[in-house]
Structure 1
Amino acid sequence: MKPLYYFTFFALFFISNSNHSQNTDHLKAINEDVWSNFSKAFETLDYELFTSIHTQDLIRVSGNSKKIKNKTEYLKSYKQQWANKDLNQTISFRFLERIANENSASERGIYKLTRNPNTPNEKSYYGKFHVLLKKEQGVWKLLADYDSSENNTINEASYNEAFAIDNFDKY
């Protein structure tokens, strides 16, 4: 009976370890395809790069303004805003939940947008987000994007309590 017990134990161990490894691979790919490019686009004001990380069928929901936009409507404001090349900003992400399989993902977290970083005029803004992603031709893209400051209750403490973008052990 002991050999069957050991076989079952090791089989379950390797299956669960394999699932964790696969999930980590998906999250690393999402970080590369989406979050790295999202941050780079914000910092370099690269409208084309920002456009490329969203699916054509994007649904964008703003909890603060209670508006739903399609891709064209949503990205129009960035094109106008980023035409001002004097804008200096950074954006970073921390996570509350990350669920992914080989083609779809759901991620919830906190973002921190900082305008005029490292200057006397530095100001940071925070929000909670929930995105749905899908893989298109081997590349992860944003399919749905919801965010809200939740009546300005999301702050530096909320941001710091969430998990770092490369902390895959939490998922």
Structure 2
Amino acid sequence: MTELPDWMRPPRPEGWLAEDLDHLPNAPRHTELIDGSLILSMSPQRFWHMEVVDSLRAALRPQAPAGHHAYREMTILLDEKNRPEPDVTVSTTPYDGSRTSIPAGDVELVIEVVSPESEQRDKKMKPAKYAEAGIRNMWIVEQEASGDVAVSVYELDDVTTTYTRVQVARDKLTTPVPFPIEIDLTALTP
């Protein structure tokens, strides 16, 4: 086993902080921070995942009201020890070419497109963090055995601070929140 590179060693005993992600020179492109620990996405991306992420972002952009933006693979600053990277984020954060994260308070919707290697994080760990940060809307997108796309739409329950699934869409997704959205799910992949 080879020795770990210096950039993989936490700079302090209590772990990494959100700001540290901006100073990791050789970290993999999709590095997230969960509870002060680095999460490195090293597995190859599947075509299905890439197509769904690109298509969802493209479908959301023209439907978003003024001042809302659909971003792909930008980390969200939840707190000093948590900076996850959803696949798509709809936010009121204006575009800034030097920005490396989105403040949680600006996030209207997070979308996780589930891959086999990220299923536990996408369906368990990250939703709990998003809910705790007060992000009101979340979608979990999965590939069914048939190859079709299924989207589970969640809304934040203010009493329990957890997400409640309000619908599962398969052919067409229609939702009024965070703004009126209509997406043909059959057109997300070739």
More helix by share: 1
More strand by share: 1
Structure 1 length normalisation: TM-score? 0.29
Quick check: which has more Rg, 1 or 2?
1
